């Protein structure tokens, strides 16, 4: 059985993951409006991944005899100054998620909840990957430079990012 403080923190994380998906959908809509369908596809795959993360937490709370509660999700931004700014905001968001996951790990250790600690290790590893993926795109955007002058590079990167699809692990426990 989950302690109430851990259950509440995990519920908060479920809602944070749902917000993340909502944010990435908004970013995808922004890119579609700009005619950058590959960037939009990348964000749509990211949104699906965040939904999967929320479901992973949801399933865990239920498996441990807890109760899932949902709260209102704030509206995400809908406009950015540039493609680079979208990905800088994405990195900032993922760094905040990493901090949230680290705080959950600390809470699990504080309560000597080894099962929750163990489950959270998947998310610790996932956040390293998330930040690395976004940093890679930022590096490429910085190489391209001013997107108003570097349209060819932006279109090539758009095509590359359009290849991304979200494939969930074979089992939720992976």
CA 124 to chain centre: 12
pLDDT of residue 144: 84
124 burial type by CB count under 10 A (0-12 exposed, 13-18 middle, 19+ buried): middle
168, part of any domain: no
In a domain, 110, yes or no: yes
- Number of structural domains found in the chain: 1
User: pTM above the 0.75 mark?
Assistant: yes
Predicted confidence at residue 51, as pLDDT, reads 97
Q: Is residue 174 part of a domain?
A: no
The total number of residues shown for the chain amounts to: 174
The answer to the question of residue 105 being in a domain is yes
Mean per-residue pLDDT, 40-46? 96
Residue 96 lies inside a defined structural domain of this protein: yes
Q: Which residue has the higher pLDDT, 97 or 164?
A: 97
Q: Which residue has the higher pLDDT, 165 or 30?
A: 30
pLDDT at residue 4 tops 80: yes
Give domain status of residue 18, yes or no. Answer: yes
| pLDDT tier for residue 171 given thresholds of 50, 70 and 90 | low
Give 70's pLDDT tier (boundaries 50, 70, 90).
Answer: very high
Domain assignment present for residue 171? The answer is no
Is 56 part of any domain?
yes
Q: Please provide the distance, in angstroms rounded to a whole number, between the alpha carbons at the two ends of the chain.
A: 22
Q: What is the CATH number of the domain that holds 68?
A: 1.20.1260.10
How buried is 36 (Cβ within 10 angstroms: 0-12 exposed, 13-18 middle, 19+ buried)?
Answer: buried
> In this structure, what are the phi and psi dihedrals at residue 97, rounded to the nearest 5 degrees?
-65, -40
Percent of the chain with pLDDT over 90: 80
Q: State the residue range of the domain holding 49.
A: 4-161
Residue 104 above 90 pLDDT?
yes
């Amino acid at each position: 059985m989950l302690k109430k403080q851990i259950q509440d923190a995990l519920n908060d994380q479920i809602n944070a993951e749902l917000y993340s998906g909502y944010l990435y959908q908004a970013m995808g809509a922004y890119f579609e409006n700009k005619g950058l369908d590959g960037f939009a596809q990348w964000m749509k795959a990211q949104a699906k991944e965040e939904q999967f993360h929320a479901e992973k937490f949801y399933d865990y709370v239920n498996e441990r005899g807890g109760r899932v509660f949902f709260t209102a999700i704030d509206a995400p931004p809908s406009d950015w100054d540039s493609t680079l700014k979208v990905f800088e905001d994405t990195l900032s968001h993922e760094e905040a998620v990493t901090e949230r996951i680290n705080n959950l790990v600390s809470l699990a250790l504080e309560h000597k909840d080894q099962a929750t600690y163990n489950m959270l290790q998947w998310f610790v590893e996932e956040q390293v990957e998330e930040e690395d993926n976004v940093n890679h795109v930022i590096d490429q955007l910085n190489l391209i430079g001013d997107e108003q002058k570097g349209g060819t590079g932006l279109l090539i990167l758009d095509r590359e990012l359009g290849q991304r699809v979200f494939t969930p692990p074979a089992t939720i426990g992976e």
